[in-house]
Amino acid sequence: MQLSKGLLIAIEGIDGTGKSTQARRLVAALVKRGYSVALSCEPTGGPHGRRILEASKSERSLSPREEVDLFIADRKAHIQELIKPALKEKEIVVLDRYYFSSVAYQGVLEGMTPDGVREANEAFAPEPDLWLIMDTDPATGLGRVNRRGQGTTGFEREEYLEKVAAVFRSLTGPRIRHVDASASVDDVAGQIEAAVLDLCEKHGEA
């Protein structure tokens, strides 16, 4: 299937909402239908992303400003190395986290604001054609993370995640769709696939 332009799809939400599972399922569904798809995630495996992940596994060793700057550096490299080239080839790029995660996670840190972090990212980052924001309460999300045996990190404290979830829920717009992540995995996958296929049809080549 050929598109008239590349499409950028971002799946967002707090940990434990099933983002990664749904990203993989979406990619599989799109590939089965003949679309060319690139799946990626943030933080990336690049040098800035590795430093972010290392810091998240320990007591906070970065200042809020340092966190924001690292995410921006990682995202700029991601955009130049993967996202823009794939979009230029008219591929569908599916992201497991993008800059709304920075808006929600870093935007509630001391000295930061969601609007300020969003403005800093939108100065350089392409806006997705569709945001899929997975929604569940933090206690449920943390329970899922713990059942997977992953434990919790500095990013996963429930009180903190309440603030993060509130930011995600406040995000609205014509390209933003909130998805009830408490539904079954199959039901959520069906909703996401339908929304993305509708977008693909709108941008299909005549």
Q: With contact defined as beta carbons under 8 Å apart, do 11 and 95 qualify? A: yes
HEC profile for 128-180? CCEEEEEECCHHHHHHHHHHCCCCCCHHHCHHHHHHHHHHHHHCCCCCEEEEE
Q: How many angstroms separate the CA atoms of 162 and 164, rounded?
A: 5
Phi first, then psi, for residue 93 (nearest 5°) are: -100, 120
Condensed to tens digits (0 to 9), the pLDDT of residues 145-177 reads: 555 555 555 455 778 889 999 999 999 999 999
pLDDT confidence of residue 154: 47
- Is the model more confident about 150 or about 120? 120
* Strand pairing class (130-135; 176-180): parallel
Q: Cβ–Cβ contacts within 10 Å for residue 131, how many?
A: 22
Average pLDDT over residues 108-130: 97
pLDDT confidence of residue 2: 87
CA of residue 198 relative to chain centroid, distance = 20
Q: With contact defined as beta carbons under 8 Å apart, do 43 and 54 qualify? A: no
Q: How many angstroms separate the CA atoms of 176 and 127, rounded?
A: 11
pLDDT confidence of residue 159: 86
Which CATH number describes the domain made up of 7-202? 3.40.50.300
CA distances from 170 to 5, 12, 18, 166, 178 (A): 29, 13, 20, 6, 10
Q: With contact defined as beta carbons under 8 Å apart, do 136 and 16 qualify? A: yes
Examine the pLDDT at 107 and tell me if it is beyond 70: yes
Condensed to tens digits (0 to 9), the pLDDT of residues 29-80 reads: 999 999 999 999 999 999 999 999 888 877 667 899 999 999 999 999 999 9
Q: What is the pTM of this model?
A: 0.91
Domain ranges in the chain are 7-202
Give the ranges where the chain is alpha helix by DSSP (H): 19-32, 47-56, 64-78, 84-88, 99-105, 114-122, 138-147, 158-170, 185-202
pLDDT confidence of residue 184: 92
